[in-house]
Amino acid sequence: MRIWGERGTLQDQEQRLAYLFLLVPVTIVFLVIIFPTVWNLWLSFHKLSLRDLRTSAPLSLNFTTYSYLKVFGDLDFTSSLIATLTYSIGGTLITLLLGLGTALLLSPKFRGRGAMRGLFLIPYIAPVVAVTFTWRLLLDPRGPIMTALVNVGWLKQPLHLLGQRPLAMTTLILFQGWRYFPLAFLFIMARLQAIPRTLYEAADVDGATPFQKFFYVTLPQLKLILATLGLLRFMWTFNRFDDVYLLTSGAAGTKVLPVLVVDYLIGQFDVGAGAAAAMVLFGCLTVLLIIYFRLIMRRAEQMEV
Amino acid sequence: MWHKVTGVLVLLVVGMVVFALGETTVTIWTDLVEPKRVVIQEELAADFMALHPDIKVEVVTVLESEMPTRIAAAYAAGALPDLVRLSLEYVVGWVEEGILDAEAASALIEKMGVGTFGAGPLESVKVGSGYAALPTDGWGQLLLYRKDLFEEYSLAVPDNWADILQAAVVLHDPPNMYGIEVATDPNQVYMQQVFEHFALSNGARLVDEAGNIDLTTPEFIAALRFYKLLATQFTPRGNIYWMHTRLDYLGGKTAMTVWSPYILDELAGLRDSAPVTAEFPEGTPVLYERTGIVSSFAGPAGAPAQGGAVLYLGISVDADTEAAQAYAEYLLSDGYAKWLSMAPEGMFPMRPGYINVWKELEFGVDRKGKISDLYPAEVINAIATGVENIDRWGIASGRSACVSAIYATRTVIDVLRRYIDGEIDSATEAAQMMQDRVRYLSGCEDK
């Protein structure tokens, strides 16, 4: 390769052009991913309040582990971590199950199938503020659902589904399932339709029951897509903030880690602890994803081949 | 070609300079977001702009619950509004965080005359030799009770714990009538406000004599027990917050509840979105005439205490100080009557010279009425004295950064709710849990 500035051969010029083009995505990646992450890591090793953000304090080289000690020493940290795990695992499983169920229901041809499929997408596309507000009203102990249940005589006392442990977490998980199953449904349905008919015909010839067809033909074909969806949903739920905050604000045992981050940052103006909690969240997620890849993704990929 | 470019540049620069010289913009963030109140604020801005053609005022509405979040984000971005309306628990904390310009506020208060403001509201936000922000209006929390029922059963006015409890026991007859409804929804600041009122009434303050957080005092533990008693024995189950207590009081389903004076216009039937649904025989007094008001009550170990809120106008550190001061002064002088007219029942003037003007203001949403025509003098006095005596955790002892963290994280009421639900066995244990959690918040460390 020649020195920059010299024209060189056509090949050299093209190479230089290629690097130039590459500069655009690299800059973007740097600005929106690498820089914020590194900056957050940097902030998490400082003791900073909101006020310090406007001074040169964030740039100082006085590193401290204060923020991490604060996060790990927090009386709510362990319960917060458990809540996050419960919420993520429960939410992911229920989303997948509901998505799989609806996809199976809506894959045979019948009249109005298109309209049904469209209807099923509503929870996913409706604005989150509107749906959480509506659900809060519906689930209020004196709202329509509880009033009806008490009037019918199924309940003696109304339940506070969003205000009491462990009901609040269960409700959050169910809400997660309701709101995000359409995504799983779309993915699974696309995969279902790509399964060759011949496999089912062969199964029919062997005299397989519908259950056998599902467990030995359909499910193996869906493994990779289910594993991928599980991965995505788990990641997104682990970092989920808006649903939780809007439904329970973190009360009644639903203070998940992202809510803790906001508590530090906005509630206590402790920027360092907020950054450290975010890094802890990031770290937990990374570890969990590595395990997931090792245990599930790899196996699912092998099955597919 | 070059002189064309230069020409355009010169034009641009000149234009910007003219623009900059010609007009200053004052942005005000307000938590008064109801449409009719926004209209009044827009009118105030227009009136001011007519007097000061060189200043442009922009009114931006922000939900009260989102104000801290939005302010923190704006601070980090260096784009704070010039003026911001905020409640007492945040004021001093925000000066400490460098959000509010206490000097600008103090200078304006000096100019308008320190003596023209109520002493209490100014004292609460004293920082150094000045004041953190300008008090605009406030309300004292009220205990509403059914005077007619109290008379019928010859119960004493509920201005102390024993009489409150006695009345609740006698009048409790669910689901037709609940003895007293208190807040139990840990998602709502309302629960903190109501509980704090009970804690203060028993002399349970947030801090000990050394200025450190202390929630393990016998007075505080007694307040926890009493609150749990009211919440479990006389309050309907559920996440009860201001919406339920208002609904039930207006529906004649609770004998007592704690609310802000903002309920007074609904109670008088002036607001269709929150109608009075309690029915009484034709020709007998209606609900508001059957309502008694107590502005402060006392526990066995405390003196009468008054909860409530004072709202302030803060000048931010990013503000165009002179223009912001000019508009703040306008709102609190020439525009003050109009400002208070947004909701006179909950906006008591913080400048005593305006109390007579305030008494003549009309309130109500769908119908209008004069507060002094509808309610007897003792109610008006209860509102007026209530505001003057407002007491709050931590404010006078300089721990307001901690108070704002308690409010924003809702730590205390979250534990309180678990105690009410029976997840935590004893009040002592609950108090210790609160103590440990609160002391762990940034801003609440020992001095």
**Using CB atoms, which residue from B78, B418, B442 is nearest to A273?**
B442
Contact B238 A252 (CB under 8 A): no
Contact B72 A265 (CB under 8 A): yes
> Is some CB atom of chain A closer than 8 A to the CB atom of B65?
no
> Is some CB atom of chain B closer than 8 A to the CB atom of A165?
yes
Contact A269 B442 (CB under 8 A): yes
Per-residue pLDDT for B33 more than 80?
yes
Contact B96 A54 (CB under 8 A): no
Contact A158 B78 (CB under 8 A): no
Give the pLDDT band of residue B104 (cuts 50, 70, 90): very high
> Is some CB atom of chain A closer than 8 A to the CB atom of B185?
yes
Per-residue pLDDT for B17 more than 70?
no
Question: For chain B, how long is the longest CA-to-CA vector?
Answer: 95
A&B contacts, CB < 8 Å? 91
Mean pLDDT across the stretch A232-238?
88
Buried b (16+ CB within 10 A) or exposed e, A227-240: bbbbbebbbbbbbb
Residue A3: predicted pLDDT: 55
Per-residue pLDDT for B432 more than 90?
yes
One DSSP character per residue, B264-319 reads: HHHHTT--TTS-------TTS--GGGGEEEES-BB-TTS--B--EEEEEEEEBTTS
* CB < 8 Å to B72, chain A: 50, 265-266, 269
CATH superfamily placement of domain A75-303 = MetI-like (1.10.3720.10)
pTM: 0.81
Mean pLDDT across the stretch B379-408?
78
Give the pLDDT band of residue B7 (cuts 50, 70, 90): low
Contact B237 A141 (CB under 8 A): yes
> Is some CB atom of chain A closer than 8 A to the CB atom of B34?
no
Residue B175: predicted pLDDT: 80
Report the alpha-carbon distance of residue A305 to residue B17 in Å, rounded.
69
* CB < 8 Å to B93, chain A: 269
In Å, how far are B84, B239, B266 from B273, measured between CA atoms? 28, 21, 9
> Is some CB atom of chain B closer than 8 A to the CB atom of A169?
no
Segment among A167-171, A218-222, B80-84 with least mean pLDDT: A218-222
Give the pLDDT band of residue B211 (cuts 50, 70, 90): confident
Residue B314: predicted pLDDT: 93
Strands B24-30 and B55-61: parallel
- The identity of residue A101, as a single letter, is G
Buried b (16+ CB within 10 A) or exposed e, A58-69: beeeeeeebbbe
Per-residue pLDDT for B4 more than 80?
no
A 10 A CB-CB count for A76 gives: 18
Span B259-311, pLDDT tens digits: 988 888 888 888 877 888 888 888 888 888 899 888 888 888 888 888 888 89
- How far away is chain A from the Cα of B104, in angstroms, using its nearest Cα? 18
Span A37-83, pLDDT tens digits: 898 888 888 888 777 777 777 777 778 888 898 888 888 888 899 99
Q: Is the separation of the CB atoms in B237 and A157 below 8 Å?
A: yes
Contact A251 B97 (CB under 8 A): no
Give the pLDDT band of residue B18 (cuts 50, 70, 90): very low
Per-residue pLDDT for A302 more than 80?
no
Q: Is the separation of the CB atoms in B410 and B400 below 8 Å?
A: no
Of B308, B221, B241, residue with least CA distance to A249: B241
C-alpha Rg value of chain A to the nearest Å = 25
* CB < 8 Å to B443, chain A: 268-269
How many residues does this entry show for chain A?
Answer: 305
Report the alpha-carbon distance of residue B381 to residue B399 in Å, rounded.
30
Contact A162 B239 (CB under 8 A): yes
**Using CB atoms, which residue from A158, A165, A266 is nearest to B237?**
A158
Which residue of A lies nearest to B76 if distances are taken between CA atoms? A53
Report the alpha-carbon distance of residue B408 to residue A103 in Å, rounded.
43
- How far away is chain A from the Cα of B236, in angstroms, using its nearest Cα? 9
> Is some CB atom of chain A closer than 8 A to the CB atom of B187?
yes
Best mutation target among B409, B420, B445 (most A Cβ atoms within 10 Å) is B409
- Residue B445 or residue A180, greater confidence: A180
Mean pLDDT across the stretch A81-108?
90
Residue B14: predicted pLDDT: 54
Mean pLDDT across the stretch A119-127?
86
Contact B69 A266 (CB under 8 A): yes
**Mean pLDDT estimate for chain B:** 86
Residue B398 in tokens: 């300089």
Q: Is the separation of the CB atoms in B436 and B444 below 8 Å?
A: no
**Mean pLDDT estimate for chain A:** 84
Give the pLDDT band of residue A5 (cuts 50, 70, 90): low
Tally of CA atoms within 13 A in the half-sphere of B155 that contains its CB? 26
Residue A130 in tokens: 């509107």
Report the alpha-carbon distance of residue A264 to residue A267 in Å, rounded.
6
* CB < 8 Å to B414, chain A: 251-252
Segment among A257-261, B98-102, B367-371 with least mean pLDDT: B367-371
Residue B316: predicted pLDDT: 93
* CB < 8 Å to A49, chain B: 97, 442
Report the alpha-carbon distance of residue B235 to residue B253 in Å, rounded.
11
Span B246-257, pLDDT tens digits: 989 999 999 999
Give the pLDDT band of residue A305 (cuts 50, 70, 90): very low
Give the pLDDT band of residue B28 (cuts 50, 70, 90): very high
Span B161-191, pLDDT tens digits: 999 999 999 999 988 899 999 999 888 888 9
**Using CB atoms, which residue from B239, B410, B418 is nearest to A141?**
B239
CB contact set of A281 (below 8 Å; sequence gap of 6+): A84, A238, A239, A257, A258, A261
- How far away is chain B from the Cα of A49, in angstroms, using its nearest Cα? 7
Per-residue pLDDT for B228 more than 90?
yes
Q: What are phi and psi of B181, to 5 degrees?
A: -110, 125
Question: For chain A, how long is the longest CA-to-CA vector?
Answer: 87
Per-residue pLDDT for B5 more than 70?
no
